[in-house]
Amino acid sequence: MAVDRLKQLAVARFGAAAEALKPDDDLFDVLGIDSLQALDLLTDLEEAFDVEIPDYEIQGVTTLGGLAAVIERHR
């Protein structure tokens, strides 16, 4: 499932505790990241899932569940 893989990427990049990440959590709050770090995470996601996601499609997406939905649309 995309959410589980997203958790793994967030843990690897930002050192977050996987059990602390829930699908509806705000990534900026839970991970303590800014918009530039979010773009780094997007790059990781695109590589991990072998997809290309235009920046405009993730504007306003702030949760793991929301990111997973965007990724699934591009798979």
Domains and CATH numbers, the chain: 2-74 (1.10.1200.10)
User: Do the Cβ atoms of 23 and 58 come closer than 8 Å?
Assistant: no
Which residues does 12 contact at the CB level (< 8 Å), separation at least 6?
A: 44
pLDDT, the chain, mean: 88
What does the pLDDT look like over 31-46, one tens digit per residue?
A: 899 888 988 888 988 9
What is the rounded CA–CA span in Å between residue 11 and residue 59?
A: 22
This model's pTM is above 0.85: no
User: Do the Cβ atoms of 45 and 10 come closer than 8 Å?
Assistant: no
- pLDDT for 6 equals 87
Tokens of 1: 């499932």
Helices (H), 1-75: 2-14, 27-31, 35-49, 55-58, 64-74
